[in-house]
Amino acid sequence: MRKVCVVITARPSYARVKTVLEAIRAHADLELQVVVAASALLERYGPAIDVIRADGFEPDAVVYMVLEGENLVTTAKSTGLGVLELATIFDNLRPDVVISVADRYETMATAIAASYLNIPVAHLLGGEVTGSIDEKVRHAVTKLANLHFVASDRAAERVIRMGEDPETVFVTGCPSVDLAARVLAEDPDGFDPFGRYAGVGHRFDPSQGYLVVLQHPVTTEYEGALDQIRGTLAAVEELAQPAFWFWPNVDAGSDRISKGIRQFRETHDVPFIYFFKNLAPEDFLRLLHGARCLVGNSSVGIREGAYLGLPVVNIGDRQEGRDRAANVVDVGYDRQGILSAVRFQLENGRYPSSMLYGDGRAGERIAELLTRVPLRVAKRICY
């Protein structure tokens, strides 16, 4: 039986890997180990560990590794602290393979620690192109990884062009699309976000239509994060549409975005906006499925949004270069550009569902591959 250790470091990381956890846990030939780390443990970001435990995944270990500050220096230091802590945990757990998810700095720490312990690394969602530091991290983890579970044919082509052995690259789809497929198959009625989750703001009737807003800092532009979020806030205020607004992730610049949101709440009368920290992955997708438009710069609009046919206004450069379906309109940070794009999407309405990032079966594919593919520490590089 193979021991598979999955490291979950943030709320989006859990959404990206949840169906993989389920499939590993259900497989007779695999033993699941769960490590929860970084912002997934922190109250200020809506602790994902509570959601993880509620879904029946009790962590084998936890790693507190996020230094206060949300700037470039603390990000680098948190990565180093993660390497230190995860090396000890992997040495104790002795997994046969470690799964590292996507492109956050904690992903880099996971891949480095496992690689130096001669533990094979399986990387989810490599081979994609985006803006900021994320692309560097994603490609660096690809070079540290031994197995590559990618979301699309184009991502697989990029990984192979980076010199990876084609026999180690598998197009599985994105596991978070599995959750979107579940949501599409459900009866859409009956989900009450106000009743299920605590938030801040004025309640409204979701059945009359609403926006979802989720904007993260761009690490290469983090000093401008406050001005960037002010443009979005001004546009949403002028739209005067009911909206669920989510707090940003832990990246450099997060404090500036949070400051802008708090200042806005304290100085503006916006009875149509309700603020949340975090929702369970399926509930967040239920909220998106019922939305008229997603505004911000989260990859959820490009990945799960494509499958849901959700109109998306993507702001700024954070997702620059990422493959997208027809549901996404790209704009800059200015208020008028955001206003025009949202109004266009509201007028346009829903888009056809796209399988650009998967067909809803990624988790089971990845678990099955983990039972039978060779686990080699040494890599055959194909230049």
Kindly report, residue by residue over 278-322, the tens digit of the pLDDT: 899 999 999 999 999 999 999 999 999 999 999 999 999 999 989
Structural tokens at position 39? 């912002």
Q: 369 versus 376: which is more confidently predicted? A: 369
96-147 per-position pLDDT tens digit = 999 999 888 889 999 999 999 999 999 999 999 987 788 899 999 999 999 9
Residue 68, amino acid? E
- Backbone dihedral angles phi then psi of residue 20, each to the nearest 5 degrees: -70, -45
Contact present, 258 and 69 (Cβ < 8 Å): no
Q: What percent of the chain has pLDDT over 70?
A: 99
Indicate the pairing of strand 293-296 with strand 312-315: parallel
Q: What local confidence, expressed as pLDDT, does residue 294 receive?
A: 98
Q: Report the candidate in 120, 164, 140, 111 with the shortest Cα–Cα distance to residue 380.
A: 164
Residue 269, amino acid? D
Q: What is the mean pLDDT of the chain?
A: 93
Q: Could you give the CA distance from residue 166 to residue 185 in angstroms, rounded to a whole number?
A: 34
Q: pTM value? A: 0.93
Question: Packing angle between helix 11-26 and helix 281-289, nearest 10 degrees?
Answer: 120
Contact present, 14 and 281 (Cβ < 8 Å): yes
Looking at 3.10.150.10, 3.40.50.1360, 3.40.50.2000, 3.40.640.10, the CATH number of the domain 2-174+358-372 comes to 3.40.50.2000
Looking at 3.30.930.10, 3.40.50.2000, 3.40.50.670, 3.40.605.10, the CATH number of the domain 182-348 comes to 3.40.50.2000
**How long is the chain?**
383
Contact present, 210 and 204 (Cβ < 8 Å): yes
What are the domain boundaries of the chain? 2-174+358-372, 182-348
Same fold, 2-174+358-372 and 182-348: yes
Report which secondary-structure segment, H or E, holds 368.
Answer: helix 362-372
Strand-pair partners of 258? none
Question: Packing angle between helix 11-26 and helix 362-372, nearest 10 degrees?
Answer: 60
62-97 per-position pLDDT tens digit = 999 999 877 889 889 999 999 999 999 999 999 999
261-277 per-position pLDDT tens digit = 999 988 988 899 999 98
Indicate the pairing of strand 273-276 with strand 243-246: parallel
DSSP state of 354: -
| H helices present in 301-361, as ranges | 304-308, 335-348
Non-local (6+) Cβ contacts of 183 within 8 A are 282, 285, 286, 289, 308
Edge-to-edge strand order for the sheet containing 211-214? 200-201, 273-276, 243-246, 211-214, 293-296, 312-315, 328-331
